[in-house]
Amino acid sequence: MTRKTVLITGAGSGIGRELAVEAAHRGYALILAGRTLDALKETELMAASDACECVRADVTLPEGRAALRAAANGRLDILVNNAGTLSVGALGVLEDAALERMLMTNLAAPIALSRDLLPALRVTQGRVVNIGSVFGDIAYPYFAAYSATKFGLRGFSDALRRELWGENIGVTYIAPRATKTGATGAFAALVEPMDMILDDAGTVARQAWDAIEAGKREAFPKGKESLFVRIQRVLPRLIDRSVGAQAHTPAVINALSNAGLLPKDQPESPTHEL
């Protein structure tokens, strides 16, 4: 029996690396994609796979996606759009380069790569997996642009699932909460004052693969976030009040200020009711 092949973007670190390791443990052949070949080779070593191809590719560029299409060679069982980037802070401190990088990597690239690999996925009646975030449901202050990209990715997942209805190609949206990866440093100042729970990347990967293999349409972490997502979808004003108030506590404002994540002309925290 031919083993199934999974292509994972952003496989050189963080969740992507752990997704690759877990996939190898479950018997998948791997196509690992990322911008740094050495990092991909480290993932390959950790995965200990006897069926692994590393492809240096920037998924935001047509030539990078073309390289991945060539690696799939006309047949692919699972595409995991995992590559992502994060910049945090008050909107006033986010520069154009950071906005463009998040929009291209987190949203435009998964859409384009899914389009390019649909023919290969049709051959196997495969599955598109988009790694989003709880912030794709609960829009978080100081993560505004990042949240926007993940909201977009969730919307794309729903739309693509409906577009492919009847073709037996699945679409799964995975929404982890904050995870311990190299990207954590970008928001380290906010972890304690905003009471964030950080999950282990290996745990996220195992739960993601459980959802993928079960054919789920979406998967959220166990805990309070799942409840908050349900509330957000029916009573968003309650989340406005809770998260809005939390975002303006002195501890959060001080942490942002000390980390240089507030504009110099930031007004004092509002006291009006949200």
Q: Catalytic residue numbers? A: 146
Helix or strand (DSSP H, E) at 179: strand 179-180
Rounded Cα–Cα distance for residues 82 and 18 (Å): 11
Rounded Cα–Cα distance for residues 242 and 244 (Å): 6
**In the block, residue with structure tokens 């195992």:** 206
DSSP letters spanning 100-124: HHHHIIIIIHHHHHHHHHHHHHHHH
Asked whether 150 and 135 are in contact (CB, 8 A), the reply is yes
Rounded Cα–Cα distance for residues 132 and 150 (Å): 5
Nearest to 175 by CA among 240, 105, 256, 229: 229
